[in-house]
Copies of this chain bind each other. A is one copy, B any other.
Amino acid sequence: MLRNLSIAAVAALAVAPVGVFAQTTAAQAVAPASDTAFLFNTLFMLLAGLLVMWMAVGFTMLEAGFVRSKNVAMQITKNISAYAVAGAGFLIIGAALQNPVDGWAIDGFLSGTAPGWTGIEDAGSGAPGQGGVASGGASFFLQLMFCATTISIVSGAVAERVRLIPFMLFALAITSVIYPLQASWSWGGGFLADLGFVDHAGSVVVHTVGGWAALAGVVILGPRVGKFRADGRVNPLPGSSLPLSALGALILWFGWFGFNGGSAVMADAMQGAVDIGRVVVNTNAAGVGGVLAGIILTRALYSKVDLTLVLNCGLAGLVSITADPVHASPGLALIIGAIGGAIVVLGVPLLDRFRLDDVVGAVPVHLGAGIWGGVAAGFVNPEGSVIAQLVGIGLIGCFVFGVSIVMWFALKLVIGLRFNPEVEADGLDLNELGLEAYPDFVGYEDA
């Protein structure tokens, strides 16, 4: 199997748009669902898609609170523009790359050829009676929202320094090409799925992908002006509004029930309903584990509980359970989440040591805990194997980090990524947007 894997992997990376997808043509035959199952699945998929859309709002608030007041409007602009770019890019390009052939789980939806501007006409048709388990539109929307999540992860890591246009171009690359290509390897019958790689809702396929792209951006961009002092000390540069960050983190927690639950929709709606119940309980338990680990560890290590770390630990708990929220018991989910939280508490100072400036902690939360979640699924999922998980994590990581490094570097060369240091010190809002996020209030820099 590993021999086949290496051949398949090379082939996939080389001729992905042709070879890989041809393999998946006949992969999934979906049993025709009853009207009741179709309605239930559609409604649940819509609810899940809405909750994941709401996570985009959560990321926006989380990041707006974690940046300094002089960069808040810019951070919001980046998040909204990235969501818009994802909405257009995945619609026109990405969806066709992710599911280009017949035989995708939802038949009759995005099949045969790339939709392009003609094929889009049919998007959302997914008529009942064609063997579909849910409305094609609801399914497309959920896929789009997963895709959009990846760039939300990136935007926080590269905050307070990257310019808007190169960021939007990277957003276009990841949402219309990078994410969809690798998602097709794992979901809907790709070669990683054939190898036994399992990832229920995307600890690896979504979160490590965003995390690798974020890490590549952090490496190429370099740290913010003033983050790392010449004497080796780290300047914390605290965010402007902890309530806003807490709101964002809690929105993400809330939305995660849809993120994890939506992937439990299946042709057998009764089994799906039971699984969804388990998923919701386990997802919450993992977030709880992350928070408790964060409180205990920050108090033990620093003698004070650190709210910013606790928020990120909760999110890391949620990332950790995402690869398999179905098969764990709630108690085990709590422990898996707690380990995810511990990864964040240990990972944040590690980044500082390497002088990597990840503004919101996206790399430890989404990449660190995402890898852990992927590995954990190898233990928890009866059909999983740790080796297949490591292979999947490795291949996805190599592809995404490699392409992202190249992309960020090309953007740096061609149009430039950053402002000059004076502009960055003044704040991006005044210079790039010509406005202030909080124009009525006196800041310490003004006083």
Instruction: Identify the A interface with B (CB < 8 A).
Output: 35-40, 42-44, 46-47, 49-51, 53-54, 56-57, 60-61, 64-65, 68-69, 72-73, 76-77, 80-81, 83-85, 87-88, 91-92, 117, 120-128, 134-141, 144, 164, 238-244, 246-247, 250-251, 253-254, 257, 261, 269-270, 273-274, 276-282, 284-285, 287-289, 291-292, 295, 302, 304-308, 310-311, 314, 329-331, 334, 432-447
Contacts and interface: CB of A to CB of B under 8 A. Distances in A.
How many protomers of this protein does the assembly include?
A: 3
Nearest to A88: B288
Contact of A123 (B37, B164, B330, B435): B330
A113 to B, nearest CB: 15
A276 B295 CA distance: 39
Nearest to A45: B277
Nearest to A127: B274
13 contacts: A38-B273, A60-B247, A80-B246, A88-B292, A91-B330, A120-B331, A124-B274, A137-B280, A141-B284, A241-B243, A247-B247, A307-B435, A441-B441
A77 B310 contact: yes
A157 to B, nearest CB: 19
A84 B288 contact: yes
A72 B243 contact: yes
A441 B443 contact: yes
Given A254-B57, A305-B164, A433-B305, A438 B123 contact: no
B39 A138 contact: no
B53 A254 contact: yes
A60 to B, nearest CB: 7
A274 B445 CA distance: 54
Contacts of A138: 273, 276-277, 280
Interface centre among A281, A306, A447 (most CB of B within 10 A): A281
Nearest to A139: B277
Contact of A310 (B80, B141, B434): B80
A144 B131 CA distance: 37
B434 A295 contact: no
A329 B281 contact: no
Given A39-B36, A277-B138, A329-B123, A308 B435 contact: yes
Given A38-B273, A91-B285, A438-B441, 10 more contacts: A39-B40, A46-B47, A53-B257, A61-B243, A73-B307, A77-B310, A80-B310, A84-B288, A440-B445, A446-B447
Contacts of A306: 433-435
A302 B240 CA distance: 28
Contact of A447 (B253, B433, B442): B442
A141 B281 contact: yes
Contact of A243 (B39, B83, B244): B244
A247 to B, nearest CB: 6
A72 B42 CA distance: 40
Contacts of A284: 53, 87, 141, 144
Given A80-B311, A441-B441, A46 B125 contact: no
A121 B306 CA distance: 32
Given A53-B254, A435-B238, A281 B164 contact: no
